[in-house]
Structure 1
Amino acid sequence: MYVLLYYIIGYRKKTVKENLDLVFPDKSEAEKKRITKAFYHHLCDMTVEAMKSLTISDAEMKKRFQFQSLDVIQDLIDKDRSIALMCAHYGSWEWIFVLQSYFNVKGYAVYKKLRNPYFDKLVKKIRAKYDSYLITTKETVPTLMRAKVNGDLNICGFVSDQSPKIQSAHYWTEFMGIKVPVYTGAEMLSKRIDMSVVFFKTKRIKRGYYETTFELIAENAKEYDNYDITDTFLRKVEAQIYEAPQYYLWTHKRWKHRDKVPAEFQ
């Protein structure tokens, strides 16, 4: 897969190069090429891991995707707190859904509906295997509000490092040293519905094996000034990337709006 994707198809190699040149201007071309090749190897591994999710056993999944500090989640559940679980496109986010097998609460993940109905159905099937359910952006507020009214605790995952549409951007800040619009939905929804906010940091131990650590960002989101939670999340993501950049999703056009910063954010 790597030979096909990297050497023959050259999938988004131009985007990867532009992103690495932007965020790592001081790295040599040789170092950036090393990161690029390692990233494409990892991207291929994640693709296979996602497909394997359909048939992998619970025991094998738990052996390959282990959790540290589960007590952070359990402590919040014991306090009758629902949780907004924030993460980035880093390491492996596909297998996080096995988390639901450790707790007796509902699991949701906010996602963008795929254009291909077959693949959209397939992705939902993979998530449902672990009692986690995908909800679109439009479904998020009514779904979580209904859960709150019914007293149903839940863990809702937000992949919050994407680039929002510029016309709907409310907040711009630096990410990897470059000012861009950022998603604030997880923070604002946590304040509105009174959820706790937790960051999950995934580290690749070796090929096909990961370890996730949970870090509390805010037990009561309402106590924080606007965008403090979002900024804290971004700093944690940056630390991951600087530590091992090859495991970030460099094919995303994350910095595409960098030249359109509104005057009030300059």
Structure 2
Amino acid sequence: MQFLAYIIIYPFLWMISILPFKVLYFISDILYIFLFKIFGYRKKTVKENLKLVFPNKSHAEIQAITSAFYHHLCDMILETIKSMTISEAEMNKRFKFTNIDVINTLGEKHKSIVLMCAHYASWEWIFIMQKHVKHKGYGIYKRLANKYFDRLVKRIRARYNTYLITTKETIPTLIQSKKDGELSISGFASDQSPKAHKAFHWTEFMGIKVPVYTGAEMLAKKLDMAVVFFNVEKVKRGHYQATFKTITETPKDYPDYTITEAFLKLVEKQIYDDPRYYLWTHKRWKHRDKVPKAFQ
């Protein structure tokens, strides 16, 4: 059944991916009508999240952010499909880096990097970065249930010399990478919600205490990797600008969880500056009423 689904769906995805951007965004506008106006995909979750973290915003303001978010979400879906066939030149034109020298300077110091990212603006086109740096790129991801689509995603990422590894593969892969003297950069999207009973740390995110992922920080300390924050802005439709901010080159010097909290503060700033481009469909604050006594 997995293969059948793949051979039925893949041709449609490929045909969409070769369309020019003007047509692509026309399809996105139609998708917005269905996703937001007709089906209301996760609309309740989106509005609950926005009301929770922006209690002082009016109903009209929440409505405006919600609508703009769904427009952006539909663009992201189509841009992800476009990744299948987009040229390197086109990608470089649409996803620019303001200070790639931050990464290359760390490379000159032979520092491998933990790149901490959020589900903000565009995280799908980050992989073009590998064409501008000497580090070998690893992306930590959750394996897709359909093994054929999983292979497709890996193949798309590999176009720009990025290798996807699962959470379970991360530690042994990066330990071996260090033993081999490899210069690596590993991307972690660390802003979503871990299972409450497995969380090592709880802290405030957007003013609400929640469990947080700490794996990126712990790995950076274990392997003495620099920690860099990846900030993305949406300049206009289909165009993004990324800026790197070094959190620390010496993670072992920091008390546990302070690096994670510094990362979350930077994510908060992104969201407060422009909430339209954060991924509001996930129940990020679902464990807020389950704070263990040790963390209260």
What TM-score does the superposition give when structure 2 sets the normalisation length? 0.89
Runs of 5+ in structure 2 lacking a partner?
A: 1-30
Quote the Cα distance in structure 2 between the aligned partners of 1:166 and 1:203.
Answer: 31
Identify the residue that residue 246 of structure 2 maps to in structure 1: 216
User: Per-residue deviation at 1:122?
Assistant: 2.1
Quote the Cα distance in structure 2 between the aligned partners of 1:5 and 1:264.
Answer: 41
Quote the Cα distance in structure 1 between the aligned partners of 2:263 and 2:200.
Answer: 16
Quote the Cα distance in structure 2 between the aligned partners of 1:63 and 1:53.
Answer: 14
Higher relative contact order structure (alpha carbons within 8 Å, sequence separation ≥ 6) = 1
Percent identity for Structure 1 against Structure 2: 64
Quote the Cα distance in structure 2 between the aligned partners of 1:251 and 1:116.
Answer: 22
Change (3 A) 1:118 1:10: farther
Q: Which residue of 225, 228, 252 maps to 1:195? A: 225
Identify the residue that residue 51 of structure 2 maps to in structure 1: 21
Identify the residue that residue 6 of structure 1 maps to in structure 2: 36
Matching residue's letter, 2:118:
A
Q: Deviations over 1:86-144 (max 9, x none)?
A: 01000000000000001122100111112222332222122111110110000000000
Q: Deviations over 1:27-56 (max 9, x none)?
A: 001000000000000000011111111111
1:141 equivalent in alignment to 2:177 = no
Displaced runs of 4+ in structure 1, greater than 4 A? none
Quote the Cα distance in structure 2 between the aligned partners of 1:34 and 1:97.
Answer: 31
Tell me how many residue pairs correspond in the alignment: 266
Identify the residue that residue 18 of structure 2 maps to in structure 1: none
1:160 equivalent in alignment to 2:194 = no
Quote the Cα distance in structure 1 between the aligned partners of 2:206 and 2:105.
Answer: 32
Identify the residue that residue 177 of structure 1 maps to in structure 2: 207
| Residues 107 and 134, structure 2, Cα contact 8 Å, conserved in 1 | no
Q: Which residue of 46, 64, 67 maps to 2:97? A: 67
Identify the residue that residue 246 of structure 1 maps to in structure 2: 276
1:255 equivalent in alignment to 2:255 = no
**Alignment of structure 1 residues 232-243 onto 2, 5 Å:** 232-243=262-273
| Residues 233 and 242, structure 2, Cα contact 8 Å, conserved in 1 | yes
**Alignment of structure 1 residues 31-42 onto 2, 5 Å:** 31-42=61-72
Greater C-alpha radius of gyration: 2
Identify the residue that residue 56 of structure 1 maps to in structure 2: 86
Q: Deviations over 1:209-228 (max 9, x none)?
A: 00000000010111111111
Matching residue's letter, 1:11:
Y
1:265 equivalent in alignment to 2:295 = yes
Identify the residue that residue 106 of structure 1 maps to in structure 2: 136
Identify the residue that residue 122 of structure 1 maps to in structure 2: 152
Matching residue's letter, 1:49:
E
Runs of 5+ in structure 1 lacking a partner?
A: none
Quote the Cα distance in structure 1 between the aligned partners of 2:119 and 2:246.
Answer: 19
Quote the Cα distance in structure 2 between the aligned partners of 1:211 and 1:74.
Answer: 18
Report the secondary structure of 1:125's partner residue. helix
